[in-house]
């Protein structure tokens, strides 16, 4: 273990991102490896939100929509986010949740491929993506069918002349496995279909190149690696070449060409603004803006290099220190094929994670048996890997996880 201590300490000393850690509020004595669920609080966020609440809302009231350009805030956050996605600022909108944005984009995709009926996806996809597709299927009657495959290597063969859209999550939420975005987008295009990517576990975690991959559509959230806060607004991407023809079904006034004309007929705004629906959540956007701009300061190649190195260290140390305790790696062995997390499977995973949290190391659990550990290179240290694995070893060696208190499941796991 002392060899590991020295190696990880050296990596922390050499870390080009180390200075970012001070820009976050991190509770004393806690190792936080759950930035893949809820990113940590940037230090600047509280003051930024307080300024909007006190000085703008409090003092300038409704005049703030113009005086402080609240109405332009979604567009400003989208422009700050676009480089992190490899997108143009005119291709990104910040609004709603992933679920709602998926509904808009799947409907838009189906309308762009009017003679095709199938949404192709993976059964292991994050459930909300599948639920939204099922909802559309129900709404559109026999016109749409959700087709699911069980293994990623079945996707290409499943693409056919009836596939309207291939809907995939870039980084699998359970295993962290990364899809080849360029390759699968090209395969979708070769079949005449569109490709829609869920970037929930990608934005702010890996360098992205939506344009270079020729992606058609994408969605992602603001509360994970973008550190936008609980329930932060999500984002969507529509490739420039589709902006003219793509229409969305939630034809709200904020997506109208002239919302303040108050005319009875809907006319979509030009460009990506038509994907807005209702009044933007200014307080949440103010928080998200801080997170996105902070992430924008980092070199994403350094972020990726650090998270890969942290993942490698975690798995190697876990193999050494947790041997015989019943864990099996549930993520790809090769760092390049993983997102910014590692996953271990264990039949008692839920209770073990609760016991670990009681030791001050926060990861999370995904049914049926996955313990997830996410790495947020802006605020995690290499040392956190050692602390986490050693805490897990103590939980297993002491059997503390067997305490009935750790079996009780909260509403949120
Ligand atoms: C891959 C993926 N898609 C979608 C969601 C949920 O999106 P939202 O709650 O913004 O609708 C999550 C949440 O963790 C996710 O991991």
Q: How far is CA 93 from CA 219, 346, 390, in A?
A: 9, 39, 42
Grouping H, G, I as helix, E, B as strand and the rest as coil, residue 222 is coil
275, pLDDT greater than 90: yes
Per residue, the 3-state secondary structure of 21-53, as one string, reads HHHEECCCCCEECCCCCCCCEEHHHHHHHHHHH
Residue-wise pLDDT tens digits, 154-176: 999 999 999 999 999 999 999 99
Mean pLDDT computed over 115-135 = 98
410, pLDDT greater than 90: no
Mean pLDDT computed over 346-359 = 97
Largest Cα separation within the chain, whole Å, is 71
The residues lining ligand 1, judged by C-beta closer than 6 Å to any ligand atom, are 97-99, 126, 128-129, 169, 173, 198, 200-201, 221, 234
Mean pLDDT computed over 135-143 = 93
CB 252 within 8 A of CB 277: yes
Distance 356 CA to ligand 1 centre (A): 24
Residue-wise pLDDT tens digits, 314-328: 999 999 999 999 999
pLDDT band per the 50, 70, 90 thresholds, residue 378: very high
Mean pLDDT computed over 209-227 = 98
* Average pLDDT score over the chain: 97
250, pLDDT greater than 90: yes
Burial classification of residue 117, based on how many CB atoms lie within 10 Å of its CB (0-12 exposed, 13-18 middle, 19 or more buried) = middle
1, pLDDT greater than 90: no
413, pLDDT greater than 90: no
207, pLDDT greater than 90: yes
Q: Which of 203, 202, 205, 194 is nearest to 239 (CA)?
A: 194
125, pLDDT greater than 90: yes
Distance CA 246, CA 236 (A): 13
**What predicted TM-score, i.e. pTM, was given to this entire model?**
0.97
Residue-wise pLDDT tens digits, 16-60: 999 999 999 999 999 999 999 999 999 999 999 999 999 999 999
Mean pLDDT computed over 262-277 = 98
Distance 224 CA to ligand 1 centre (A): 9
pLDDT band per the 50, 70, 90 thresholds, residue 102: very high
pLDDT for the residue numbered 2: 83
pLDDT for the residue numbered 13: 98
| Residue minimizing CA distance to atom 14 of ligand 1 | 37
pLDDT for the residue numbered 412: 87
Distance CA 59, CA 52 (A): 10
Q: Which atom of ligand 1 lies closest to the CA of 125?
A: 1
Write down the catalytic residue from 34, 96, 172, 198. 198
Residue-wise pLDDT tens digits, 286-311: 999 999 999 999 999 999 999 999 99
Question: Length of the chain in residues, anyone?
Answer: 413
| Residue minimizing CA distance to atom 6 of ligand 1 | 98
């Amino acid at each position: 273990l002392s060899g590991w201590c020295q190696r990880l300490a050296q990596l922390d000393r050499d870390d080009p991102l180390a200075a970012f850690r001070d820009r976050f509020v991190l509770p004393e004595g806690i190792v936080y490896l759950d930035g893949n669920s809820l990113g940590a609080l940037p230090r600047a966020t509280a003051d930024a939100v307080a300024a909007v609440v006190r000085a703008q809302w409090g003092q300038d009231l409704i005049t703030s929509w113009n005086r402080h350009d609240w109405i332009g805030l979604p567009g400003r956050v989208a422009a700050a986010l676009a480089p992190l996605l490899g997108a143009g600022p005119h291709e990104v909108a910040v609004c709603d949740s992933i679920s709602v944005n998926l509904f808009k984009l799947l409907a838009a995709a189906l309308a762009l491929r009017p003679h095709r009926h199938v949404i192709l996806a993976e059964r292991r996809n994050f459930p909300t993506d599948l639920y939204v597709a099922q909802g559309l299927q129900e709404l559109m009657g026999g016109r749409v069918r959700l087709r699911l495959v069980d293994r990623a290597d079945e996707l290409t063969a499943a693409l056919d002349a009836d596939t309207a859209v291939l809907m995939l999550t870039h980084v699998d939420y359970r295993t962290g496995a990364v899809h080849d975005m360029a390759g699968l987008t090209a395969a979708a295009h070769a079949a005449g279909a569109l490709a829609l990517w869920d970037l929930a576990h990608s934005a702010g975690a890996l360098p992205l190149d939506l344009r270079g991959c020729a992606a058609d559509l994408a969605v992602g959230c603001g509360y994970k690696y973008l550190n936008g806060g609980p329930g932060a607004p999500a984002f969507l991407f529509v490739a420039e070449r589709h902006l003219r023809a793509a229409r969305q079904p939630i034809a709200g006034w904020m997506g109208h060409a002239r919302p303040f004309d108050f005319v009875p007929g809907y006319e979509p705004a030009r460009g990506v603004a038509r994907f807005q629906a209702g009044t933007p959540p200014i307080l949440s956007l103010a928080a998200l803006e801080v997170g996105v701009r902070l992430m924008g300061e980092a070199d994403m190649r350094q972020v990726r290099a650090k998270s890969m190195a942290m993942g490698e260290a975690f798995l190697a140390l876990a193999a050494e220190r947790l041997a015989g305790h019943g864990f099996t790696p549930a993520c790809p062995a090769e760092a390049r094929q993983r997102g910014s997390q590692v996953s271990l499977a264990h039949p008692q995973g839920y209770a073990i994670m609760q016991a670990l949290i009681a030791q001050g190391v926060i990861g999370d659990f995904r049914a049926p048996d996955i313990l997830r550990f996410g790495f947020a290179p802006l605020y995690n240290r290499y040392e956190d890997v050692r602390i986490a694995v050693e805490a897990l070893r103590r939980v297993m060696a002491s059997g503390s996880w067997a305490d009935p208190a750790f079996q009780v499941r909260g509403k949120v796991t």
